[in-house]
Amino acid sequence: MFTGKAAPVKRGRLRVGRRLREEKVAWLMTVRRDGQRQSVSVWFLWDGETMLVYS
């Protein structure tokens, strides 16, 4: 049984797991040396243990 702050963490993990299983597109973000963010959408496949990313 979760009490206090642990319950939101568990709900968050469940939500992340569901999105990894159901979504097929994600945003991959990096930061350049000058601090500027770079983002690109990528397709991905999650098998529950390993992520394969197609750019």
- Digit-coded pLDDT (tens) for 9-34: 788 888 988 999 999 999 999 999 99
Tokens at 50, concatenated: 């390993």
User: Which of residues 11 and 51 earns the better pLDDT score?
Assistant: 51
* The pTM of the whole model exceeds 0.85: no
Is residue 47 included in any domain, yes or no?
Answer: yes
Q: CA–CA separation, 19 vs 2, rounded Å?
A: 22
Three-state SS for 16? helix
Is residue 27 included in any domain, yes or no?
Answer: yes
Boundaries of domain holding 45: 6-54
Is residue 1 included in any domain, yes or no?
Answer: no
Yes or no: say if 32 and 38 are a contact pair by the CB < 8 Å rule. yes
User: Which of residues 29 and 2 earns the better pLDDT score?
Assistant: 29
Count the domains in the chain. 1
